[in-house]
Structure 1
Amino acid sequence: MAAITVDFQLCFIFIFLWLLTRFCLSAFFFKKPKDLPPSPPSLPIIGHLHHLLSVPVHKSFQKVSSKYGPLLHLRAFTVPIVLVSSGSMAYEVLRTQGLNFATRDREVPTMEKSLLFGSFGFLSAPYGDYWKFMKKILVTKLLGPHSLERTRLIRGEELKTFRAILFDKAAKNDAVDVGEEMMKLTNNSICRMIMGRKCSEEDGEAEQIRSLVTKSVSLAKKFLIATTVGRLLKKVGISLFEKEIMEVSERYDELLEKIIKEHEKSPNQKEDRDMMDVLLEVCADENAEFKISRNQIKALFVELFIGGTDTSAETTQWIMAELINHPEILKTLREEIESVVGKTRLIQETDLSGLPYLQAVVKEGLRLHPHGPVLVRTATEGCKIGGFYIPQNTTILINAYAVMRDPDSWEEPEKFQPERFMVSPSKGEKEMREQLALNYLPFGSGRRGCPGSNLAYIFIGVAIGTMVQCFDWIVNDNKVNMEEAGDMTLRMAHPLKCTLVARIDPSG
């Protein structure tokens, strides 16, 4: 078959002229409603797309909102976008009118057949019967209080392995890549919790999943761009990032198909069935409450791998970096752990409820370094937010990063101060709850808030507690570089690597 050569420049000119025509027609024939939110200055044709492409995007949005206001109307070409940057406005979107904004953008046709960012996923599903059914399974079989208690021993075994690896590296004076070791802990724990076994290190399964998770996260910003301008470009036959996303999807599919066949060959009929067994039973049951497909099971597991593995690993890095850069806070935390747990017994998951300062350290780390700094929603119907009109199908971007660093809501918002999450005479428990409900969004909020937040607090809490209790941390120049990478997720530009000195008997 003869190869067909496409003149890229000609293609670009065609797209540009088409967009220009669309823009001119909309400018002449479309009258913008008067009560839309205010709009900052825009560029010809592309509108505010340059802010969406800025690195990192959450800081670009923060700068725009600090100058022009907490609720802004933007556009990428002719696609309407509303940027939300205050806690009160975010509360209206996520809580007061939560049902109207319970759906994410569904107009990204290039992703329909993908397990990653596709139509099979739970996180991207419209708010409806399927979403409610899958969330019920997630809560009852994995993320609810009873489920977490049922799998506590599994996490305890993986924590023991994590601790042993760190002690071994300390004994050998080997550098520790905190994110890498934390990713192994969370990945092994999640795999055992959802499918009854670890992914094998020997045959490369575990490394394959970690690699796929990393690649998936790196595609997040491209996916956000696709949700805003992809529907326009599709009209001229252009699909954004489809090849990259489908390649990752196919690799997930191959791995998960292998695991599913293992479960089908030897199904677990006992009461302690894992989540994979339960989902496969539902898939095969013609009379199930909701009929789910094999691809929907796979897509859910992809989301669990990404959400359960990368989020906690990256946040733990940030918090340890903050503690190393604030030795007085690390000292206070260590003193709390030693007063509650002791100097010989090793910290366990059951100790977390009795360690309020550790909980405050984790919350403060999540406030400053939310893994998902920008939340995406879609207006199902036209409505009013903050007195302004939001048209139907408008993409809503909530800058959680800006909300949690808003100087109108937080004292000295750029500083790492865990004490702000401790109940005190000046700030009672009721006032703190109100503050968190409005201005604390590390896991989103409302109907589409992250269902795995409790598990994340456990993963991060026991890991931070272990690393503070058991080791002294040595880094070059005694200071960690806190520069952010330019991704949609909040990642460290320079992964945290340290030398450890054991300060407790590893056989304790």
Structure 2
Amino acid sequence: MAATRIDSYLWGGAAALLVVLHLLLSRWFLRKPRSRLPLPPGPRGVPVLGALPLVGSSAHSNLARLAARYGPIMSLRLGSHLCVVASDASSARAFLKTADAQFAHRPDPISARDVSYQRQNLVMSDATPTWKHMRKMCSLHLLGGRALADWAPTRRAEFRRLVDALRRLHDAGQPVPIFNLLLYTLANVMGTISVGSRVFDDHGDESNKFKDVLSDLLTGGAQFNVSDFFPSIAWMDLQGIQAKMFKVSKRLDALVTRLFEEHQRTRESRRGAPDFVDKVMANKVSEDGATISDVNVRALIFVSLLPGTDTSSTIVEWTLAEMLTNPAILRRLQGETESVVGRDRLLEESDIPNLPYLQAVCKEALRLHPPTPLMLPHFSHEDCEVGGFFIPKHTRLLVNVWAIGRDPAVWENPLTFDPDRFLPGGKGARYDPLGNDGNFGFIPFGVGRRSCAAKLLGMLFVQYLVGTLAHAFDWKLPEGEEDIDMEAKPAWAIADAFTAAPIEAMATASMDSYLWGGAALLLALHLLLRRWLLRKPRPRPPLPPGPRGLPVLGALPLVGASAHSNFARMAARYGPIISLRLGSHLCVVANDASTARAFLKTADAQFSHRPDPISARDVSYQRQNLVMSDNTPTWKHMRKMCSLHLLGGKALADWAPTRRAEFRRLVDALRRLHDAGQPVPLFDLLLYTLANVVGTIAVGGRVFEDHGDESNKFKDVLSDMLTGGGQFNVGDFLPSIAWMDLQGIQAKMLSAHKRFDAMVSRQFEEHQRTRESRRGAPDFIDKVMANKVSEDGTAISDINVRALICDLFTAGTDTSSIVVEWIFAEMLKNPAILRRLQAETEAVVGRDRLLDESDIPKLPYLQAVCKEGLRLHPSTPLMLPHFSHEDSEVAGFFIPKHTRLLVNVWAIGRDPAVWENPLAFDPDRFLPGGKGERYDPLGRDGNFGFIPFGVGRRSCVGKLVGMLFVQCLVGMLAHAFDWELPEGEEEIDMEAKPGFALPKSVPLKAFARPRLSPAAYV
């Protein structure tokens, strides 16, 4: 029974935590010294939270204080994420110039997914061809020098409206809400340029909706979100931020979509005077084939309306605040503008080059108050070395622009607002805020390929607005307000965005910080309980029933290593569909034929993707293989190539001579072992035989010989990959601690992958060099390489090809070997079955030749034996996990998006409601007239009661060849040899070794004695 008493929960939790602690301590004390460079120095932080308590909400200032202790490049863990921080000009140069390519991507913050259209906008997308094409379109038609000149009349018109609004407020005796008016003005500029229409007016329902959604976006985007730092608990949405941002993104997208659709309907009216979106739509496909989708266009519109406007508004607000604090600066600026522009007209953009003090004022504001004090995080896509330190793959880079602009080693009196420093002769004159000077000491818009695409426009907005407002108006504080609050409002996403009341933040690694960490956990618990108690009843169907599990670990202690059998026991209590949380992941398990049908037939499309287990990333070539890839066009093309040229009926017939030759070599090897008086290590010999079949078919060469260094290396690495792939890995279920690699599995799998890939790469390169010698007799890889591009343009890369080869050697060899070994174990345990099979093969084949594939259709008992072996001992008792890409309802239950589906093939094959005496090895059930006759192991019968190879679009692509391997090997070895256990071994250990696959716990060794006439073996 599945444990349900409190003792079981306590034992499970204590045991699991002790194991984790043991593994952590063992790994700490037994770790080998690394030959690579060290990580940058930094604070140790506290368990789970890392350095979050030290960073606080005013991250930029606290990180600057930490840099004073640890140095300009420091590393620290923020929740689950390793981060490096660059805090001065030299470290910024090292990352943004020397290592710019390695850090060209963005991380994937959970709170930004919806508002970034799932990272399809210009700001959050990785550096992909589509991103490059979007950036190019923005530079050409929106943000570059020529585009700025084209749209100058639009800016002039909106800025004059702003001046009119300020005059009306003066006439009414009301103060100016400067930030809001600036934001609405700039949004109208960008709306007119982008989609040909203003988005804010003084009144109107649509305008109010836009104001509301913009306000909600700015508020929600600036909040600290626990889920961004602890993705493993993001599903809880403890603070409700994700739900709020999702609703806001829906409202925003509805508004943007209406703008976009209206824009498309009226495009004929703009013929001859196209706006930005018109130009993008006319150039959606780049010269190299990268395509901008309609979703990308809507995301671009959003980016132009929010990130393109609030940052400039922030700077102008800060500049006016500083000038009101220092009235002499305001008067001096007004004196300059009046001497150049006069008092009879408003300032124009063309005046700005003649106003050096205006330029200096704006630069000083950007230095002291950058709108984003920390650059948007960069993300490393590979290991690299920067500044003498090792920076691992998947590290987040934060560049502290705020600290760089206040570095006392560069700036004299850095906290003073002093525009003179930027005038000719000043120490700041050599610094360009656009980053063109190569100094990296003043980079408010960033530098490198991920620098702000709108820096020219942003600088123009700031200078034009500050100059216009200072020139056209005198400014004073409301009566009774003598001082301006110059503190910044702390924020994570849009830090320094508004002036606000002061807030204290600690930055030392004292006991107070650890207490703060405890308080954070208590707050998280409070939010969780509050959200639980106050939640609204949902109208949707319930989740499937299942065990509650423990905090953090979920039901992992109940599942254990033998997951398939424990799931079957749970199903007896909770029903055939159960849901449970395994660590951070919600899983559903289908345990009988009807539930398997519900998921694999009715909901097959929703569950056609794969999850992303950490331990499989390297060996799957970052999920670019056939087994672990999502259901993409590339995956479909790879599957089609395999069916056509390797695993389908026609291909099987073409490669029959290869299988026959290798199976005869296997028979010869068994005869040699008999002659030497040695038992047969059956699994190993089967594995090597099938690997040689695969090698010959795939790359035109055998990979295992009886001797040779390369052969031994292949044996070792294949063994390591199969062993590592079958182990339980804590990191797969608790991704937030995967970076620890507590058991060392990820490191072992990476090492095995690198060794395997080196060998496969050598074979692949040699194969490519010798392809002319196979002209007229191409192997599988030749055929794939000749058809890399499908009819719809989908291409298979060289990496996909190497990943396919890896699939063939791992998934295509050990599974069949496992089943054959189990069948022989069952027959040695039940000798009458072996004798009956030998009699059948002898009657059909005779004693003067070996069994051939063509004999199999005439051997019904052989087919029944193999089917029974697959029923009782499926090589993978749980199908590879499926992954839902959308919410769905299955069999009356609600299944959320991103749920993992496990189909318990082992339990289905032993269901007593379907199979009489299910634990008995009884091939008769599959003979004509037996109750199992109607079941097809290849899943073509529609019954779902016997599915060892799976069913549906993610079923095993190699099921035909797998079935053929099993039948041919079992028939040939039973026909050609008598089998007996070594002397003194009367019982066979029938326990399975727990893991992803189910090999025998104790490998079978038996003596094989030739039983045919000598002529059969020649």
Cα distance change on mapping 1:59 and 1:430 into 2, 3 Å: closer
Distance in 1 (CA, whole Å) between partners of 2:942 and 2:991 is 26
CA drift at 1:103: 0.9
Please say if residues 81 and 395 of structure 1, whose CA atoms lie closer than 8 Å, have aligned partners that are also in contact: yes
Q: 1:85 aligns with which of 591, 596, 600?
A: 591
Cα distance change on mapping 1:23 and 1:73 into 2, 3 Å: farther
Q: 1:487 aligns with which of 978, 987, 995?
A: 995
Distance in 2 (CA, whole Å) between partners of 1:247 and 1:424 is 52
Please say if residues 989 and 1002 of structure 2, whose CA atoms lie closer than 8 Å, have aligned partners that are also in contact: yes
Aligned length: 501
Cα distance change on mapping 1:27 and 1:260 into 2, 3 Å: farther
1:443 maps to what in 2? 949
Q: Is 1:394 equivalent to 2:896 in the alignment?
A: no
AA aligned opposite 1:40:
P
1:367 maps to what in 2? 871
CA drift at 1:73: 1.3
Distance in 1 (CA, whole Å) between partners of 2:920 and 2:666 is 30
Q: Is 1:498 equivalent to 2:1000 in the alignment?
A: no
CA drift at 1:121: 1.2
Cα distance change on mapping 1:286 and 1:35 into 2, 3 Å: closer
Q: Identify the range of structure 1 (209-218 vs 130-139) with the bigger mean alpha-carbon deviation.
A: 209-218
Secondary structure in structure 2 of the residue aligned to 1:374: coil
CA drift at 1:128: 2.3
The 5-angstrom pairing of residues 352-501 of structure 1 reads 352-375=856-879, 376-424=881-929, 429=934, 437-475=943-981, 476-501=984-1009
Deviations along 1:286-307, one digit per CA (max 9) or x if unpaired, are 9994222221111111011012
CA drift at 1:172: 2.2
Q: 1:51 aligns with which of 537, 549, 558?
A: 558
Please say if residues 374 and 398 of structure 1, whose CA atoms lie closer than 8 Å, have aligned partners that are also in contact: yes
AA aligned opposite 1:445:
V
1:507 maps to what in 2? 1015
Q: Which has the higher contact order (CA 8 A, sep 6+)?
A: 1
CA drift at 1:209: 3.0
Please say if residues 678 and 1007 of structure 2, whose CA atoms lie closer than 8 Å, have aligned partners that are also in contact: yes
AA aligned opposite 1:264:
Q
Gaps of 5+ in 2: 1-36, 51-78, 81-225, 234-520
Distance in 1 (CA, whole Å) between partners of 2:763 and 2:658 is 19
AA aligned opposite 1:472:
D
Please say if residues 23 and 45 of structure 1, whose CA atoms lie closer than 8 Å, have aligned partners that are also in contact: no
Cα distance change on mapping 1:419 and 1:295 into 2, 3 Å: same
Q: 1:61 aligns with which of 556, 559, 567?
A: 567
AA aligned opposite 2:603:
Q
Q: Identify the range of structure 1 (153-162 vs 269-278) with the bigger mean alpha-carbon deviation.
A: 269-278
Q: Is 1:98 equivalent to 2:604 in the alignment?
A: yes
AA aligned opposite 1:217:
L
The 5-angstrom pairing of residues 2-401 of structure 1 reads 11=47, 25-29=527-531, 31=535, 35-52=542-559, 54-106=560-612, 108=613, 112=617, 114-116=618-620, 118-199=622-703, 201=705, 202-222=707-727, 226-230=731-735, 232-233=736-737, 238=740, 241-268=745-772, 270-282=775-787, 289-375=793-879, 376-401=881-906
Please say if residues 691 and 704 of structure 2, whose CA atoms lie closer than 8 Å, have aligned partners that are also in contact: no
Please say if residues 174 and 499 of structure 1, whose CA atoms lie closer than 8 Å, have aligned partners that are also in contact: yes
CA drift at 1:224: 6.9
AA aligned opposite 2:969:
A
Please say if residues 587 and 899 of structure 2, whose CA atoms lie closer than 8 Å, have aligned partners that are also in contact: yes
Distance in 1 (CA, whole Å) between partners of 2:1014 and 2:883 is 51
CA drift at 1:110: 7.3
Cα distance change on mapping 1:195 and 1:40 into 2, 3 Å: same
Cα distance change on mapping 1:75 and 1:427 into 2, 3 Å: closer
Please say if residues 179 and 496 of structure 1, whose CA atoms lie closer than 8 Å, have aligned partners that are also in contact: yes
Q: Identify the range of structure 1 (128-137 vs 217-226) with the bigger mean alpha-carbon deviation.
A: 217-226
Please say if residues 214 and 310 of structure 1, whose CA atoms lie closer than 8 Å, have aligned partners that are also in contact: no
Distance in 2 (CA, whole Å) between partners of 1:287 and 1:277 is 18
Distance in 1 (CA, whole Å) between partners of 2:932 and 2:750 is 50
Distance in 2 (CA, whole Å) between partners of 1:100 and 1:354 is 41
Distance in 1 (CA, whole Å) between partners of 2:753 and 2:605 is 30
Distance in 1 (CA, whole Å) between partners of 2:765 and 2:710 is 15
Please say if residues 731 and 737 of structure 2, whose CA atoms lie closer than 8 Å, have aligned partners that are also in contact: no
Secondary structure in structure 2 of the residue aligned to 1:442: coil
Deviations along 1:223-249, one digit per CA (max 9) or x if unpaired, are 77544432x446xx5567432221121
Identity of matched residues, %: 26
Secondary structure in structure 2 of the residue aligned to 1:507: helix
Cα distance change on mapping 1:94 and 1:425 into 2, 3 Å: closer
Secondary structure in structure 2 of the residue aligned to 1:439: coil
Distance in 2 (CA, whole Å) between partners of 1:502 and 1:413 is 33
Cα distance change on mapping 1:447 and 1:24 into 2, 3 Å: farther
CA drift at 1:425: 7.0
AA aligned opposite 2:920:
K
Distance in 2 (CA, whole Å) between partners of 1:213 and 1:434 is 32
Distance in 2 (CA, whole Å) between partners of 1:403 and 1:430 is 12
Q: Given the two structures, how large is their TM-score scaled by the length of structure 2?
A: 0.46
Tell me which structure has the larger Cα radius of gyration: 2
Q: Given the two structures, how large is their TM-score scaled by the length of structure 1?
A: 0.90
Distance in 2 (CA, whole Å) between partners of 1:483 and 1:110 is 26
Distance in 2 (CA, whole Å) between partners of 1:98 and 1:286 is 24
Secondary structure in structure 1 of the residue aligned to 2:734: helix
RMSD over aligned Cα atoms: 3.1
Please say if residues 616 and 725 of structure 2, whose CA atoms lie closer than 8 Å, have aligned partners that are also in contact: no
Cα distance change on mapping 1:218 and 1:288 into 2, 3 Å: same
Secondary structure in structure 2 of the residue aligned to 1:291: coil
Gaps of 5+ in 1: none
Distance in 1 (CA, whole Å) between partners of 2:834 and 2:600 is 35
CA drift at 1:27: 4.7
Distance in 2 (CA, whole Å) between partners of 1:502 and 1:239 is 49
Secondary structure in structure 2 of the residue aligned to 1:461: helix
Cα distance change on mapping 1:59 and 1:117 into 2, 3 Å: farther
Cα distance change on mapping 1:481 and 1:312 into 2, 3 Å: same
Deviations along 1:22-71, one digit per CA (max 9) or x if unpaired, are 6764454255856111122422332212234x122212222222222211
Q: Identify the range of structure 1 (262-271 vs 246-255) with the bigger mean alpha-carbon deviation.
A: 262-271
Distance in 1 (CA, whole Å) between partners of 2:791 and 2:894 is 44
Please say if residues 849 and 1015 of structure 2, whose CA atoms lie closer than 8 Å, have aligned partners that are also in contact: no
AA aligned opposite 2:890:
I
Distance in 2 (CA, whole Å) between partners of 1:118 and 1:109 is 10
Cα distance change on mapping 1:225 and 1:405 into 2, 3 Å: farther
Secondary structure in structure 1 of the residue aligned to 2:588: strand
Q: Identify the range of structure 1 (475-484 vs 434-443) with the bigger mean alpha-carbon deviation.
A: 434-443
Q: Identify the range of structure 1 (380-389 vs 302-311) with the bigger mean alpha-carbon deviation.
A: 380-389
AA aligned opposite 2:578:
L
Q: Identify the range of structure 1 (115-124 vs 18-27) with the bigger mean alpha-carbon deviation.
A: 18-27
Secondary structure in structure 2 of the residue aligned to 1:477: coil
Please say if residues 591 and 907 of structure 2, whose CA atoms lie closer than 8 Å, have aligned partners that are also in contact: yes
Distance in 2 (CA, whole Å) between partners of 1:411 and 1:353 is 26
Distance in 2 (CA, whole Å) between partners of 1:215 and 1:349 is 32
